[in-house]
Structure 1
């Protein structure tokens, strides 16, 4: 999904905590009553580990006459990661996949040399008020995997290990964390953890991964005495031991990061590559109809942007 047409986020407010390398305030766009906040890429930061794109979708309540309809569009050089907190989205792609993702599940679609997909409100929810809330992120593929064949993997929430301690609950969505390992497979070291902290609870965020960040989904987070509100992205300095502390209302966080890529990545629209020439080739392929079609969703498509 990449339907947010807004500009890159603007610089965030100043902060005092030395442990934080970047504070990013996402730029918000309203799309027919559906709020989307883009935190990556930004002017301050292009990637955190392999994460090159980070969108917060909603939370939104769609009226009976509204629906999410992201028409077929292409990707290269990345894996899309769709993770919902509320609602349902029907995924179709050019591999013939047709599947509804529900809260707690994860869709990981690896584009490689090229894939096309659509994301829409399922038929059973159309004509009724319904809510949508979640995250869509992109993982840039390493140099030797950028042109692999496309694949799609769905992992149900029951397969992911749960974090359950006093005042702390969560799910390890991707990677290894606190002795728990997700079954979701990626091509580089990747961390993606859904974490809830009750009011006043402190939780150590070890420097196990090369690059680390946290997106505050709700509540207030305290780091080294500084307080941060919902819908802020904090990127931590490498190697520093961090303690996350929930504010008076508790907080809901997404921890993410992993190993940095070995070479630069370029991003244009839905295309990610280490080569500008490869992106130009993908643009021409989409413009001239040389990508595969999405079975069951052949009538519409998102045209190539003109700018």
Structure 2
């Protein structure tokens, strides 16, 4: 029934901001088109520490980013000129395509007064035909994201389609992405109709076939599996998956089906050919040094 259990690892995305990194994982690089998943927080912010956890302008190609908050507020700025605050229950869906840069800053006074921040960010690889599409950004309010409830179960469809629900989030391949809240004792099942499916346990404990699974674990299921998920305590789950897209390369913030395109993106950022956000262009994250070198040049990490 289970294909693999992935344990979240600690990663740093900014000074003072550590996250739980779920994808990519060395034994399971993708779930459907999802190539990356980070869980930030919950963390309490104080005014004197806020600037230290800002994520400065940085580039992306070949993917869509999906930012979803459970608590707090984040300000997004990008090279298209977008300035957007995201709040809990909203979705920021940014398609990088041929290239975009953006920042994420924590500057709202109410958040800085001591409220908590908790955010899930995923990256969705684009089909080859869309990898060089024009970059775009959309913010979706909670009222356009369908919610389903029954005894002990609440869920919001963030993107794609599942359980007969659909929404208008602009995706490029068949997928689903869902926020689920379960009361203690609630029973739940995976959506059908998708080749690859996973559950990330953001909070709580669930049982499947008598085995307990805890917060910080992602469960990836074999095709056709139909598990009964029982919440042994109140739990928050993120469900995701869809149709696989085939081999992908990833290096830093770049994703592509072609290794040479990764090299081009690196050069473009280093030489300033990917623009900075016009209203956040005084600082940025420089291109990191290659960790792995080969005689033929740097070798991107491969995802499959």
The CA deviation at 1:34 is 3.3
Give how far 1:125 is off. 4.4
| Equivalent of 1:222 in 207, 210, 213 | 207
Are 1:259 and 2:254 an aligned pair?
Answer: no
Equivalent residue runs for 1:96-111 within 5 Å: 96-111=81-96
Partner of 1:35: 18
The partner residue of 2:6 within 10, 13, 24 is 24
Q: Structure 2 matches for 1:128-167, cutoff 5 A?
A: 128-167=113-152
Answer whether contact 1:34 1:62 (CA < 8 A) is retained: no
SS at 1:175 equivalent: strand
Matches within 5 A, 1:150-299: 150-247=135-232, 249-261=233-245, 263-299=246-282
Stretch of structure 1 that moved more, 27-36 or 109-118: 27-36
Specify the alignment match of 1:9 in structure 2.
Answer: none
Whole-angstrom CA distance in 2 between matches of 1:175 and 1:233: 20
1:303 matched residue in structure 2? 286
Deviation at 1:130, TM superposition (A): 3.1
Q: Distance in 2 between matches of 1:279 and 1:244?
A: 40
Give the Cα–Cα distance (whole angstroms) in 2 for the partners of residues 276 and 240 of structure 1.
Answer: 34
Q: Give unmatched runs, 5+ long, in structure 2.
A: 291-304
SS in 2 for 1:66: helix
Match of 2:301 in 1: none
Report the Cα offset of residue 98 of structure 1.
0.4
Match of 1:124 among 103, 109, 121: 109
Do the aligned partners of 2:202 and 2:236 also contact (CA within 8 Å) in 1?
yes
Q: How many angstroms apart in 2 are the aligned matches of 1:163 and 1:296?
A: 38
**Aligned partners of 1:164 and 1:123: how far apart in 2?**
32
Cα distance in 2 for residues equivalent to 1:29 and 1:91: 21
- Give the superposition deviation at 1:129: 2.3
- Measured in 2, the distance between the counterparts of 1:122 and 1:145 equals 34
Structure-2 separation of matches of 1:240 and 1:69: 40
The CA distance in 2 between the partners of 1:43 and 1:28, in whole Å, is 15
CA distance in 1, matches of 2:11, 2:258: 29
Q: Do the aligned residues in 1 keep the contact of 2:101 with 2:276 (CA within 8 Å)?
A: yes
Q: Name which of 78, 82, 95 aligns with 2:63.
A: 78
SS at match of 1:59: strand
Q: How many residues in Structure 1 have an aligned counterpart in Structure 2?
A: 287
Q: Cα RMSD (Å) of the superposition?
A: 1.4
Once the two structures are superposed, residues 269-297 of structure 1 have per-residue CA deviations (whole angstroms, 9 ceiling, x without a partner) of 00000011000010011111111121111
C-alpha displacement at 1:32, in angstroms?
4.9
3-state DSSP of counterpart to 2:234: strand
Q: CA 1:104–1:127 in structure 2 vs 1: closer, same or farther (change >3 Å)?
A: closer
Task: For structure 1, list consecutive stretches of 5 or more residues without a partner in the other structure.
Answer: 1-18
Equivalent pair of 2:74/2:108 in contact (CA under 8 Å): no
